[in-house]
Amino acid sequence: MNQRRRGSTSVRQRNLDLVLSHLPTGLELSQKEIAEATGFSEATVSNLTAVLVEQGRIEVTAGRRNGRRANLLSRAAPSRGVMIGASISRHRIEVLGIMPDGEVVRTPTIERVAPFEYADDLRRIVDAVEELSLEVPVSSIGVGLGLTVDPVSERVGSVVSSGPEVVPGFSSSWQPADLRSDLAERFGVPTTVLNDADAGVLGELRAGAAVGSQDVLYIQLGDGVGGGLVFGGRLYRGGRGGFSGEIGHLSFDSEGPLCICGNRGCLEPLFGEALLAKVEGVHGRMSIREFARLAGAGDPACSKALRELASPLSRSLANPVALLAPERVVVGGDLSIAGEAMLAPVIEASHAFGWAWRGEIVLAELGQDSVCIGAAYAAADAAMRD
C-alpha cells in the first residue's frame, strides 16, 4: 500500500513538472493549449493547475483566446526582482536586466582584451549586476557563454586547442572555473550558465522570431558558429552524452582547413577572423559587427564574402535539417545584423535541405540581445524548478 502511494505521488509530481515545462516564464497559455501540448485531458490539466496555483507556482488571469473568454495561466514570478541576463563572447561582455514591469535595461558593452583571464571577466560581470541592482534586488542570473558548457554540471566544457587558449578569447584560467557557483555565492540567487547559442535560441523562442514554434534550429553566426535546438517547445541542451548543437564542428570537407577541435573541414574556421581577412585589403581591420553593418548596407566586398558562404553552409546544414525537420530555422548571431545579406546565403543553402523539408528560414528578431534575454529566462525557469 505504501509503495502504491509513493508511486502515485511520483507520477503526480512528474505530471506537475510536465505542465510547468510547457509554461515558460513570460508566456500565458490557456488550459486547452496546455492540454494539447502535454497530451493530458482538459480535466486532468484543470486538476494539476489547481495544485500548482495552491503551491504558488502559477497564476491564473482572465483573458481571451480566439475571441472567447479563457483563463490564462502563467508562471508566478520567482520574486519581484530584476532578472539578469549576460553574454560573454570572444570579444565582449554584455549584461542586461529585465525589470519586474518587463522593461529591459542594459549596461554599457564591455570590450574584452587579452589575456582574457577568468577573474577579470568575473569582476566585470559582478560590477554590471551590482549596477543593475541598485534600486531593484536581483531575483536570478543567467549567463550565455561562448564556450561549451556541460548541460548537467554547467561547468565549462573543453574544446581544447594546442595553444594556451581553450578557444580564442578565453585563457586556460577558464577551464577549472565554476562561474555558476561564483555568481550564486556572491549574490545569493539562482544562477544558470549555458552555451550562448542555447541562450540565443531560448531568447528567440520567448521573445523573438521563434515565438509559438515547437521545433527550432538556431544558427549563431559571427566570430564562430554555434547551434541551438528546441524540440516540442523546450530547449534541448544535450545531457550525459555531451553537448548538443555543435553545428560549427560538423565536417563538410575532409580536406578542409584544420579546426580548433582537431577535425578538418568544419564550418567554424570560415567565420570570424577568416571572414574578416577576406575584406581586410579593402576596409582594413574591423570587428565582425562592423563587417555585418557594412554588408547590410550593401557594401560589395562584404556582401560577396557572405555569398561565398552559401556552399559550405549548405553542406553543413543539410544533414541536421534532414534529420531534425525543424519548422523554423532562425539565423542569429552578430552576422544577423547584416539582414538580408546574411539571410540570402542561408536560403540558397536550403536548396540542399531536400524536398521533404517544409519549414521556413527567418532572421533573429532580438539582434545582439538574443543571448542575454535567453539567459535571463533560463535562470528564471531554473529558479521556478528549484
Report DSSP letters for 76-127, one per residue.
PPS-SSEEEEEEE-SSEEEEEEE-TTS-EEEPPPEE--TT--HHHHHHHHHH
Domains defined along the chain, listed by start: 2-75 (1.10.10.10), 82-200+371-385 (3.30.420.40), 209-365 (3.30.420.40)
Q: Rounded to whole angstroms, how far apart are CA atoms 325 and 133?
A: 42
DSSP 245-307: --GGG--S-TTSPBPTTS-BS-SGGGSTHHHHHTTHHHH-S--HHHHHHHHHTT-HHHHHHHH
DSSP 159-189: ---SSSEEETTEEGGGTT--HHHHHHHHH-S
Instruction: Assign residue 208 a region (left: φ > 0; alpha: ψ between -120 and 50; beta: otherwise).
Output: beta
User: One-letter amino acid identity for 297?
Assistant: A
Bridge-based pairing state of the strands 328-332 and 360-363 = parallel
Cross-strand partners of 122: none
**Residue 284: HSE in the Cβ half-sphere, 13 Å Cα cutoff:** 0
Q: Rounded to whole angstroms, how far apart are CA atoms 92 and 109?
A: 7
pLDDT given at position 189: 93
pLDDT given at position 198: 96
Among 192, 81, 185, 86, residue whose Cα is nearest residue 129:
86
- Output the nine-digit C-alpha cell for 254: 575532409
> Using the 8-state DSSP alphabet, how is residue 327 labeled?
S
pLDDT mean for each 10 residues of the chain (386 residues): 42 81 80 88 86 77 80 73 95 94 92 93 97 92 93 73 60 88 95 96 94 93 94 86 81 85 89 96 96 97 94 86 92 96 88 78 94 95 76
User: One-letter amino acid identity for 34?
Assistant: I
CB contact burial 312-321 (16+ within 10 A = b; e otherwise): bbbbbbbebb
Question: Does the pTM exceed 0.85?
Answer: no
Q: Which residue has the cell 502504491?
A: 4
